[in-house]
Amino acid sequence: MPRPDDDDLFQSSTMTFGEHLEELRGCLVRATAGLAVAVLLGFFVAQPVVKLIEEPLRRALGHYYTKRSIETFDAWKPRGDGPPLPYSREEVVDAVERHGLTFELREVHADRLGRVLDGGGERTATGFDAGALVPLFLWQPLARDSRVSITTLSAQEAFGIYVKAALLVGLVLAGPWIFYQLWTFVAAGLYPHEKRWVRIFLPISIGLFLAGVCLAFFFVFDFVLDYLLQFNEWLGLDPDPRISEWLGFVLVLPIGFGLGFQLPLVMLFLERIGIFDVETYAAQWRIAVIVIFVVAAILTPADPYSMLFLAVPLCLLYFGGLAICRWMPAADPARRQPATKASQ
């Protein structure tokens, strides 16, 4: 039953088509204004955000070149009867994994290097002595390895990165406000007994969106990047990532996860207003799983890891939404009958 003092922003019970359009326009204007304010605030914190966004990529590149360093050691073979490497494998692994160092393996003529350092020495024209080359390790901290740095290819690209970082901050900050406007528009065309679910769904919707974003940023990125860098290793290519391309990846994947995590909430909402029922959800689960995998492939980049990391949780969330609909039945089933009249 509607409450007698229901005089808040959800006061209207039914709306005409024109009133729906007017309400939608107002919600879009308010959501856009909130996003603009949040983006302006984002310009003040964009620089540390860029550093934060770079961290998963730097970490993945560090793991990649750490592994490559050990593989370089294992693959090296002396020339003929030349001298062996000056380090054992255990020493190299200790330096790379425990002390965070990388190296470049070069070969030099040690006797010629000594002559140069001593200031001279006679040289005989006997040809190049490849068998006398001595392996030389050039060590450096991983953080100073140029291969781990993230590059830009034009002067104006850095400014574009700064703007995109501000936009990302704006989307995160304005997310709750945008979801509030969305649910306000939905609630404006519902009956009072249906609007109470909007008040419950709004904070849960924001929480699920943030959970999906955090899952993508703090967990999925590492697996996806490691998987993608394996192709560079397989093809024998050294990655040279650009920050602008990586930032586009950062924008797409978390938003896809955040939107996908709304699934159980949408299921419960549609069940409460009578669009679907529990029996339909239970009978059509196979079709739902297929649709989930298709949607996951659309919302994520073209790699199987990110698709699976989204599709598998969504399948679990689908059955979780089904369980919630079973365990939280509507208090009065008769309320669900006229749900489709809300927009009349």
* Structure confidence at residue 41 as a pLDDT band (50, 70, 90): very high
pLDDT of 325 reads 82
- What are the residue ranges of helices labelled H in 95-156? 110-118
Q: Angle formed by the axes of helices 221-235 and 304-327, to 10°?
A: 150
Sign of CA dihedral 205, 206, 210, 213: positive
Burial per residue of 179-208, b for 16 or more beta-carbon CB atoms within 10 angstroms, e otherwise: bbbebbbbbbbbeebbbbbbeebbeebbeb
pLDDT of 324 reads 80
Burial of 252 (0-12, 13-18, 19+ CB in 10 A): middle
pLDDT greater than 90 at residue 40: yes
Amino acid at 285: W
pLDDT greater than 90 at residue 249: no
* Structure confidence at residue 329 as a pLDDT band (50, 70, 90): low
CA-to-CA distance for 153 and 242, rounded, in angstroms? Answer: 8
Q: Quick one: CA torsion of 285, 288, 293, 299, rounded to 10 degrees?
A: -140
Query: Would you give the DSSP letter of residue 139?
Result: E
Q: Tokens representing 164? A: 């995109």
CA-to-CA distance for 150 and 315, rounded, in angstroms? Answer: 36
Q: Tokens representing 111? A: 């006797």
Q: Angle formed by the axes of helices 304-327 and 243-260, to 10°?
A: 20
188 or 106: which carries more pLDDT confidence? 106
pLDDT greater than 80 at residue 263: yes
pLDDT of 330 reads 58
Question: Which residue from 127, 131, 130, 128 is spatially nearest to 82, judged by alpha carbons?
Answer: 131
Look over the chain and give the mean of its residue pLDDT values, rounded to a whole number: 77
* Structure confidence at residue 13 as a pLDDT band (50, 70, 90): very low
303 or 104: which carries more pLDDT confidence? 104
Query: Would you give the DSSP letter of residue 190?
Result: S
pLDDT greater than 70 at residue 178: yes
Which residues on adjacent β-strands are paired with residue 135? 107
Rounded to an integer, the average pLDDT of 304-325 is 85
Q: Count the Cβ atoms, other than its own, within 10 Å of residue 126.
A: 6
pLDDT of 337 reads 47
- What are the residue ranges of helices labelled H in the chain? 17-42, 46-75, 89-93, 110-118, 157-188, 192-215, 221-235, 243-260, 263-272, 278-283, 285-299, 304-327
CA-to-CA distance for 113 and 237, rounded, in angstroms? Answer: 32
Q: Which residues contact 137 (CB under 8 A, 6 or more apart)?
A: 85, 86, 87, 103, 104, 105
Q: Token pair 């190296």 is at which residue?
A: 103
* Structure confidence at residue 265 as a pLDDT band (50, 70, 90): confident
